[in-house]
Chains A and B, each alone.
Chain A
Amino acid sequence: MKPAIRIRNLNLHIHKHHILKNINVDIPANKLTVIIGPSGCGKTTLLKTLNRLTDLSSDIDISGQIFIGEEDILHTSRDITEIRKQMGLLAQRPFPLPMSIFNNVAFGLKIGGRKNKNILAKRVEYYLREVNLWEEVKDRLHQPASRLSIGQQQRLCLARGLAVDPKIILADEPTSALDPISTQAIEQKFAELKKNYTIVMVTHILRQARQIADYLIFMHMGEIIEHGPAQEILNNPKEEKTKMYLQGVFY
């Protein structure tokens, strides 16, 4: 199967610091790819480069190519919002929009031009069910989303991301702020979702990587040290640094 994302010779500097060094990797379609590595190794930056949230930083210099399908998203003439819509983002902690639960999920749909109330209501219900949140919130859809618990908010954020019908889900340590039960809910959901979506997740929890990763990318100091099928790398790392990291010599 063709890779969903192909990264070629990607280099990124912020304020003259070399953050990503010559990244070359293919991210397989309909698999869960996990990026691991110690703090500050550039994994979050790599993730944000994929949907060009790096556009928000000052003094940034990017070279190389990122192909999603046949399109190089770093050098495309297409509207950036169209590209971002292909990718749902789940952040380290949930940022519910300052509106009701219903409107959080409907926001992306409305922005995309869907105004029909019946269709909106159906879609919102569908995606809230998709993340197992419907039963918990169906009686208070019009209350502010900020009143939900953190775990519920994170599932809501996943639902609103899915609602714009992306092909790829980007997740940046999506469970780091969550309790064990919510963490499990998100992990299980990811395992189901990868049938239909390409998921790229950053994590620093090795247990999580072992449990759900299909494909693994290990980064250190801005470089990809090793990448490949998850079990291969976890059981049989080739590089010295990967071995040390997996043994917990550094975090």
Chain B
Amino acid sequence: MKWRKIEENLFRVLMFLATMLMGGVLILILIAIFKNGLPALTWEMLTQPPKGGYYFGREGGIANAILGSIYLSLGAVLCALVIALPVALFLNIHMKNHERWVHIIRFLMDTLWGIPSIVYGAFAFMVMIYLGMKASLLAGIITVALFILPIMIRSMDEVIKGVPEGLLEAGLSLGANRTEVAFKIFVRQCSTGLVTAILLSLGRAIGDAAAVIFTAGFSDRIPTSISQPAATLPLAIFFQLNSPIEEVKNRAYASAVVLTLIILIISTLSRYFSQKLKNH
């Protein structure tokens, strides 16, 4: 009895420390970014594309990268969604009586999830050379969509897997076919979880630099069509941080603040909306 109590206390302390460590790291990162970045953050930075000497500390901003990142990640998430939702529903409803195949497909998805994004970038670059395509927003969107696809499919899959079988049986008994059950019943039932899956993918898409470096390229101009190259925030951070000039380095931190705020806004909004959906 006594030993159990010691065990309980020991593990409570260990778990507490682990949690503190997590929280501590997050807070340290935020402090580092905000301390260096906030003083350098100006209205001009948010609204102007880089002018001639921006990377040497002259005027201009990162509006190209902010917009580029938003275009790219939203485009990629939309493309991925169109594929991921049907796949996840199909796996759980239409493939219900083919357990072994579903098992294999899940295993493949998990493997794809583990492949680093630079490999997706390199692969897409190879295809682009073969097709004679230049770096463009479109190429970036497709590459990032491919890269977040397994993430989105598997997180949707996990959500849909949790729906009780009785709901599927109920739908079928009312004369609905499997596709009707999928889109008219399961999507509603899982709406909260599906939103979370989309946001998880959006976070990965907007924060990734490696998949876009070859495919979307980088440009100081704000893209006006999907065939033009586009800048992204992670790459903008990378380039500015590489500068020997202190002022430019601080702008890198300011860009990181912007990226962090965008992600914060997106996840807050999503939590708000999924909560609303739940209460509906």
Residues of A within 8 A of B (CB): 48, 51, 53, 55-60, 81-82, 84-85, 87-89, 91-93, 95, 97-99, 107-108, 111-112, 144, 157, 160-161, 164, 170
Contact = CB atoms under 8 A, between A and B. Distances in A.
B168 interface: yes
Contact of A56 (B164, B165, B189): B165
A93 B170 CA distance: 11
Given A81-B175, A164-B175, A95 B170 contact: yes
Interface residues of B, number: 25
Contacts of A57: 96-97
Given A89-B169, A97-B167, A55 B174 contact: no
Contacts of A59: 99
Nearest to A55: B97
Contacts of B57: none
Contact of B174 (A93, A108, A170): A108
21 contacts: A53-B172, A56-B96, A56-B165, A56-B168, A57-B96, A57-B97, A81-B176, A84-B174, A87-B173, A92-B166, A95-B170, A98-B188, A107-B184, A108-B175, A111-B176, A111-B180, A111-B184, A144-B280, A161-B174, A164-B175, A170-B173
By CB atoms of chain B within 10 A, which of A107, A144, A161 has the most? A107
B269 interface: no
A84 B188 contact: no
A163 to B, nearest CB: 8
A98 B185 contact: yes
A101 B81 CA distance: 30
Nearest to B103: A58
Contact of A81 (B167, B168, B172, B188): B172
Main secondary structure of the interface of A (DSSP, over half): mixed
Contacts of A53: 169, 172-173
B168 A51 contact: no
A101 B237 CA distance: 52
A88 B173 contact: yes
Contacts of A112: 175
Given A56-B96, A58-B98, A144-B280, A97 B170 contact: yes
A170 B99 CA distance: 27
Contacts of B188: 97-99
B279 to A, nearest CB: 9
Contacts of B185: 97-98
Interface of B: 96-100, 164-177, 180, 184-185, 188-189, 280
A160 B55 CA distance: 67
A60 B97 contact: yes
A22 B184 CA distance: 38
A53 to B, nearest CB: 5
A111 B167 contact: no
Contacts of B171: 97
Contact of A58 (B100, B166, B172, B184): B100
Nearest to A53: B169
Nearest to A110: B184
B96 A111 contact: no
A111 B168 contact: no
Given A55-B97, A58-B100, A60-B97, A91 B166 contact: yes
Contacts of A108: 174-176
A91 B170 contact: yes
A91 to B, nearest CB: 5
A112 B180 CA distance: 11
Given A91-B166, A95-B166, A144-B280, A58 B97 contact: yes
Contacts of A92: 166
B97 A81 contact: no
B173 A161 contact: yes
A85 B170 CA distance: 11
A173 to B, nearest CB: 12
B251 to A, nearest CB: 48
Given A98-B185, A98-B188, A107 B169 contact: no
Given A111-B180, A112-B175, A157 B170 contact: yes
B191 to A, nearest CB: 8
A161 B164 CA distance: 18
Nearest to B167: A95
A173 B232 CA distance: 59
Given A111-B180, A144-B280, A84 B175 contact: yes
B58 to A, nearest CB: 56
A113 to B, nearest CB: 10
Nearest to B95: A58
Nearest to A165: B175
Contacts of A164: 174-175
A146 to B, nearest CB: 10
